[in-house]
């Protein structure tokens, strides 16, 4: 009987398992996780921290999922090495398991800067339910907190803390929030909304020291200013969990390199999710796009192909949707162009009073990216125009009109129209 | 499995379907009372005009639904037996991931309720309310026909 091993019990891993089971009902499937929980909605830990999502609703699949799909789940079981020559994986506890096909979907871990005091108790990453429970456990004695980093994770952590009545400051090295998904102008809208709701944003400064004996007392900035703070959350980006393949012949850059079948350079080893680098359709090169929908999509393709299918992955792109205090924001593909770069053109609409900002970035007559603040209803259409590389010159003037929509592009998309007769 | 189809030649763009939809999803189901409800019921269907024709746009309950794939709260699921995408509102956090990926822009944010607006085919009724509301019979409710891709 064929044996599949999936390292990673999250977005990519679960979606791969489902794809395998659709095609192969009998094979043995082993899923490994170095965490202690059934698969959960990782992106909801900030809502969990805020008290808006209860533990029973954070599970990604019902408890019965593993049994119903005949999956052997090994929790708290860290794989430390892949032996691609002998087709087996080796765990921290020295146990070994062999596979016919392997999926590496180990995700990513928070990066910690080398700031003085970063190892102190009370400094947390924000990635797992365990991190979240650790933070929540300190809330009864926490009045002030600092978040390092103004990316998605940092801001979400700040939101969670604020909702629990902690006075929170976000310390950001760059000149804007969300510099990995928004331009300066769009970021301004988000920053304003956060500030209006009591989250303090400090731009252009870095933390040089976390101060305190035993418990944290304060943080010090490079401007020599210091803030009282008894809790620190680090949101300085993530790096792919690739330690387990570093000594193999599996190729990697920042992440493990995947081809258009989500296969590594070793034919029976596949990879998906935050740990991998796949072809990025807007950049035209391989890139890590560490996002939930991307992980699900890639996991599905990997699982299908591991069980004999031949699905082609057209590639990933950076995209995200967030909402803070009633302000929705979507970013797709390339969101910022270097000043003076004549390869790109832009179309923009900005209404500060209405809190609406829209920007579309073109290369020749193709859309390569977009930002929507306040009004995001058509973002799915733009994602499609980007992914399917649809030439837009014939309807460019309609793109930002209120009633632009699917009917405008239906003759140009890949799938044949089904419902209009 | 029944699906919604549209005879576009007949659609006048009068938006009767939009009103019927909003009404069907209101608390009271009566026009004048519905208008006074604390949170105004919004239509899950939108008529969009393009090149002199009108197209009612609503969720197609895709077999390979992008919204379900993107739902990071596992609130959206595809129910194979019903052939429908279902939404568990108690799990939804209003992140709008589904809005970002729907290839038809058929799921829209409702910022007030933090729950996306999406056609549920009027699940408790025999047929979707928009069907009867259309004065020209442009909305067709019939067994699915699969067009070759
Ligand atoms: C607070 C927060 C908010 C987020 N918000 C968004 C958002 O709004 N939108 C979005 O698109 N994305 C968001 N993300 C990112 C999203 O969570 C990830 O892209 C997604 O979880 C990636 O899934 P994955 O399956 O690749 O890896 P992960 O979810 O990281 O899972 C990795 C799995 O591998 C296991 N594992 C790792 N190493 C080993 C090992 N050596 N041995 C055994 N098991 C191992 C882990 O236990 C885990 O089960 C957010 C993340 C966080 C933390
Ligand atoms: S919301 Fe959009 S993606 Fe989801 S099933 Fe409906 S049409 Fe398909």
CATH of the domain at A73: 3.50.50.60
- In-domain check, residue B123: yes
- In-domain check, residue A421: no
Within 8 A by CB and 6+ apart from A261, the residues are A270, A301, A302, A305, A310, A311, A312, A313
Q: Can A91 be counted among the known catalytic residues? A: no
User: Which residue, chain included where needed, has tokens 């979707």?
Assistant: B128
Reported as half-sphere exposure (CB side, CA atoms, 13 A), residue A28 has a value of: 10
* Ligand located closest to A237 CA: 1
Question: Which chain A residues are Cβ-neighbours of B5 within 8 angstroms?
Answer: 419-421
A249 shares its domain with A344 = no
Give the strand pairing for A101-104 and A231-234: unpaired
- In-domain check, residue A386: yes
Structure tokens at A387: 């992914």
Flag whether pLDDT at B29 surpasses 90: no
CATH of the domain at B100: 3.30.70.20
Sign of CA dihedral B11, A384, A41, A105: positive
- In-domain check, residue B71: yes
Tally of domains in chain B: 1
A243 shares its domain with A228 = no
Rg over alpha carbons for chain B, rounded to the nearest Å, is: 15
Paired residues of A331 in beta bridges = A320, A371
A217 shares its domain with A302 = no
- The residue among A234, A251, A275 that closes a domain is A234
CB-based contact B121:B79 (threshold 8 Å): no
Spacing, Cα A170 to ligand 1 middle (Å): 23
Quote the pLDDT of residue B148: 63
Domain limits at B87?
A: 2-143
- The residue among A234, A259, A278 that closes a domain is A234
CATH of the domain at A342: 3.30.390.30
Question: Which chain B residues are Cβ-neighbours of A420 within 8 angstroms?
Answer: 5-6, 8, 55
* Residue A32: Cβ within 10 Å count: 23
Spacing, Cα A190 to ligand 2 middle (Å): 28
Give the strand pairing for A356-363 and A285-287: unpaired
A133 shares its domain with A230 = yes
**Cα A261 to chain center, whole Å?**
21
CB contact under 8 A, B106 and A406: yes
**Alpha carbon of B44 to those of B9, B23, B138: distances in Å?**
22, 10, 17
A234-246 pLDDT, tens digit per residue, is 999 999 999 999 9
CB-based contact A75:A242 (threshold 8 Å): no
The Cα–Cα gap between B98 and A380 comes to 8
CB contact under 8 A, B104 and A321: no
Flag whether pLDDT at B147 surpasses 70: no
The Cα–Cα gap between A112 and A238 comes to 9
**Is any Cβ of chain B less than 8 angstroms from the Cβ of A233?**
no
CB-based contact A298:A273 (threshold 8 Å): yes
A11 shares its domain with A54 = yes
Taking the alpha carbons at both ends of chain A, their separation in whole angstroms is 49
- In-domain check, residue B117: yes
- In-domain check, residue A364: yes
A187 shares its domain with A274 = no
Structure tokens at A179: 């510099």
A297 shares its domain with A195 = no
Quote the pLDDT of residue B1: 84
A84 shares its domain with A8 = yes
- In-domain check, residue B89: yes
Structure tokens at B36: 């006074």
Query: How much is the ipTM here?
Result: 0.95
A8 shares its domain with A101 = yes
Counting ligand 2 atoms within 8 A of each CB, the residue from B86, B107, B120 with the most, and so the one to mutate, is B107
- In-domain check, residue B148: no
Domain limits at A195?
A: 123-234
Q: What are the phi and psi torsion angles at A345 (to 5°)?
A: -125, 165
Structure tokens at A391: 């030439």
- In-domain check, residue A318: no
- In-domain check, residue A114: no
The Cα–Cα gap between A230 and B140 comes to 62
Find which of B39, B45, B50, B136 to mutate to test the A interface (most A CBs within 10 Å of its CB): B50
Helix ranges (DSSP H) in A24-75: 45-50, 55-58, 65-68
- The residue among A234, A259, A287 that closes a domain is A234
CB contact under 8 A, A380 and B69: no
Question: Of chain A residues 181-200, which have a CB less than 8 A from chain B?
Answer: none
Quote the pLDDT of residue B149: 56
Q: How many residues would you count in chain A?
A: 421
Spacing, Cα A97 to ligand 2 middle (Å): 40
- In-domain check, residue B133: yes
- In-domain check, residue B109: yes
3-state helix, strand, coil in chain B (%, to 5): 20, 20, 60
Task: Output the residue whose Cα is nearest ligand 1's atom 28.
Answer: A107
- In-domain check, residue A295: yes
pTM for this prediction: 0.95
Quote the pLDDT of residue B60: 96
A105 shares its domain with A242 = yes
- In-domain check, residue A312: no
- Which residues of chain A carry a pLDDT beneath 70? none
A346 shares its domain with A371 = yes
- In-domain check, residue B149: no
The Cα–Cα gap between A105 and A180 comes to 23
Task: Output the residue whose Cα is nearest ligand 2's atom 4.
Answer: B67
- In-domain check, residue A34: yes
Structure tokens at A51: 């008290």
Within 8 A by CB and 6+ apart from A242, the residues are A106, A252, A255, A256, A275
**Is any Cβ of chain A less than 8 angstroms from the Cβ of B90?**
yes
Give the strand pairing for A144-148 and A167-172: parallel
Tally of domains in chain A: 3
Structure tokens at A6: 């999936």
């Amino acid at each position: 009987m064929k044996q599949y091993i999936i390292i990673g019990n999250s977005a990519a891993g679960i979606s791969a398992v489902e794809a395998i089971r659709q095609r192969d009902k009998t094979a043995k499937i082993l899923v490994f996780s170095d965490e202690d929980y059934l698969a959960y909605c990782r992106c909801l830990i900030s809502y969990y921290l805020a008290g808006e999502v209860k533990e029973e609703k954070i599970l990604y699949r019902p408890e019965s999922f593993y049994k119903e799909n005949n999956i052997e789940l090994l929790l708290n079981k860290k794989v430390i090495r892949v032996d691609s020559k002998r087709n087996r994986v080796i765990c921290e506890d020295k146990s070994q398991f062999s596979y016919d096909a392997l999926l590496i979907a180990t995700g990513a871990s928070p990066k910690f800067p080398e700031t003085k005091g970063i190892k102190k108790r009370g400094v947390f990453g924000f990635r797992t339910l365990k991190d979240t429970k650790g933070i929540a456990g300190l809330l009864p004695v926490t009045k002030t907190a600092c978040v390092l980093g103004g990316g998605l994770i940092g801001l979400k952590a700040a939101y969670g803390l604020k909702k629990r009545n902690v006075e929170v400051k976000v310390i950001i090295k760059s000149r804007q929030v969300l510099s990995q998904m928004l331009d300066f102008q769009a970021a301004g809208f988000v920053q304003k909304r956060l500030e209006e709701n009591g989250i303090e944003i400090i731009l252009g400064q870095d933390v040089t020291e976390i101060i305190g004996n035993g418990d944290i007392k304060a943080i010090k900035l490079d401007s020599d200013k210091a803030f009282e703070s008894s809790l620190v959350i680090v949101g300085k980006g993530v790096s792919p969990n690739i330690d387990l393949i570093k000594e193999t012949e599996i190729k990697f850059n920042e992440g493990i390199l995947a081809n258009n079948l989500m296969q590594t350079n070793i034919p029976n080893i596949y990879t998906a999710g935050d740990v991998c680098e796949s072809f990025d359709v807007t950049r035209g090169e391989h890139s890590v796009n560490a996002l939930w929908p991307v992980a699900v999509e890639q996991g599905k393709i990997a699982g299908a192909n591991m069980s004999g299918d031949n699905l082609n992955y057209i590639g990933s792109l950076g995209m995200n949707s967030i909402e803070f205090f009633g302000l929705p924001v979507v970013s797709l593909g390339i969101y910022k162009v270097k000043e003076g770069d004549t390869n790109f053109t832009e179309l923009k609409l900005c209404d500060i009073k209405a809190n609406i900002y829209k920007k579309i970035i073109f290369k020749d007559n193709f859309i390569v990216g977009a930002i929507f603040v306040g009004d995001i209803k058509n973002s799915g259409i733009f994602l499609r125009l980007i992914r399917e590389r649809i030439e837009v010159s014939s309807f460019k003037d309609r793109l930002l009109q209120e009633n632009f929509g699917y009917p405008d592009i239906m003759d140009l998309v890949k799938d044949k129209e089904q419902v209009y007769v | 499995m029944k699906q919604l189809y549209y005879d576009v030649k007949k659609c006048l763009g009068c938006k009767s379907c939009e009103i019927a939809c909003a009404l069907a999803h209101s608390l009271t189901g009566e026009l004048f009372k519905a208008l006074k409800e604390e949170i105004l019921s919004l239509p899950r269907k939108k008529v969009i005009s393009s090149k002199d024709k009108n197209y009612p746009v609503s969720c197609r309950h895709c077999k390979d639904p992008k919204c379900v794939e993107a739902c990071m709260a596992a609130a959206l699921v595809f129910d194979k037996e019903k052939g429908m995408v279902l939404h568990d509102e108690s799990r939804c956090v209003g992140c709008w991931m589904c809005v970002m990926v729907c290839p038809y822009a058929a799921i829209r944010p409702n910022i007030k309720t933090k729950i996306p607006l999406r056609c549920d085919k009027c699940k408790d009724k025999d047929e979707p309310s928009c069907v009867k509301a259309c004065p020209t019979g442009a909305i067709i409710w019939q067994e699915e026909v699969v067009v070759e891709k």
